[in-house]
Amino acid sequence: MTGRLGARRTRLGAALREARRDAGLTQALAAAALGCRQGKINKIETTHCAISPKDLNQLLQIYGTSEDTASRIRSLAVSAGPGHPADTRPSPSYLRLLELEQQASEILALHSERIPRPLQSEPYMLMQFTRSGESADLTSLLFDWQERARMFTADDPPHYRALLSESSLHRMPGGRTPSRVIDQAEHLLRLGRRHERVSIQILTFDADIPYLDADFTVLRFAGQEKDVAYVEYATEGRMFRAAKPVADRVLYWNRLRSAALTVEDSRKFLENLVDEARVAWSNTSQ
């Protein structure tokens, strides 16, 4: 991983390595004191994986760092941004996606059964991980969510164009309830109002399309960087860099876009969805 996000994590890893060495400890001794394997310490120091606040505080105690040094390292941990604990082993493709999102000039997203992370409301995101049973630190999850959404407020944000299947607004993590529908739909409406480069179009069940493919994201760049496509499967993601698979997905995305509701009609669709959910909520509370 390159760029600002990778540089931040590199600085954090270097600071922790320096603190360990100043304490006169090898990675193996640090791991023994933390109660983990040496490989975890190595990943934290040399790769782009996150460290949980609990592990960070324990390591700073083990290393006997001064208050000033500990404060500096904690600040680096916060600025290092999204990540997953070392034990969860995020794929290189996913980590690359996080970095490239911050550099892209245009992002084309297709999602059929769920809302993509940059567009998720906080309750949606938290419920998704609660129900998935994944082993992830809450602070890291929030960093991941906040960092990916930060692209919308950058000085020169990408044009983020999302096609969402109607199904993604019915299949909510933890089950569909009026409150969850209202929260997520209103979040999408707010994003559309606040960020002029964010466009959301709904692909309804009535859309005239032959089929709906796996979720994917195409990242396009203004400079010499080649466009890439990140395809999400049930348990993993894959990054495509060759011209043909990327071009094929751009063509497919554009075909789906022509069958989707317009941005304005999609806004009205979401508003109607909120109104219907409020009525359902009112009926269940009576």
Here the contacts of 132-141 (C-beta below 8 Å, separation 24 or greater) are: 132/173, 134/88, 135/85, 135/87, 135/88, 136/84, 136/85, 136/88, 137/50, 137/52, 137/53, 137/54, 137/85, 139/52, 139/53, 140/50, 140/52, 140/82, 140/83, 140/84, 140/85
pTM of the model: 0.71
- Find the DSSP H helices in 108-220: 122-132, 138-149, 178-194
- In 23-130, the DSSP E strands lie at 106-111
CATH T-level assignment (fold) for domain 92-285:
Endonuclease; Chain A (3.30.870)
Sheet holding 216-220, edge to edge: 198-203, 159-165, 106-111, 216-220, 228-232, 237-240
φ, ψ for residue 186, nearest 5 deg: -65, -35
Among candidate residues 142, 99, 271, the one with its CA nearest the CA of residue 200: 271
pLDDT at 137: 59
pLDDT at 2: 44
What the block records as the tokens of 55 is 């592990």
Q: What is the pLDDT along the chain (286 residues), one digit of tens a residue?
A: 444 555 667 778 888 999 999 999 999 999 999 999 998 898 888 865 677 777 888 999 999 999 888 888 887 776 665 554 444 455 678 778 877 888 899 999 999 999 999 999 999 998 988 887 765 556 667 767 877 888 899 889 999 999 999 999 999 999 999 999 999 999 999 999 999 999 999 999 999 999 999 999 999 999 888 999 999 887 788 999 999 999 999 999 999 999 999 999 999 999 999 999 999 888 776 5
What length does the chain have?
286
Beta-ladder partners of 182: none
Instruction: Please give the Cα distance from 130 to 109 (Å, whole number).
Output: 24
- Enumerate the domain spans of the chain: 1-80, 92-285
pLDDT at 48: 54
CATH T-level assignment (fold) for domain 1-80:
434 Repressor (Amino-terminal Domain) (1.10.260)
Element (H, E) at 227: none
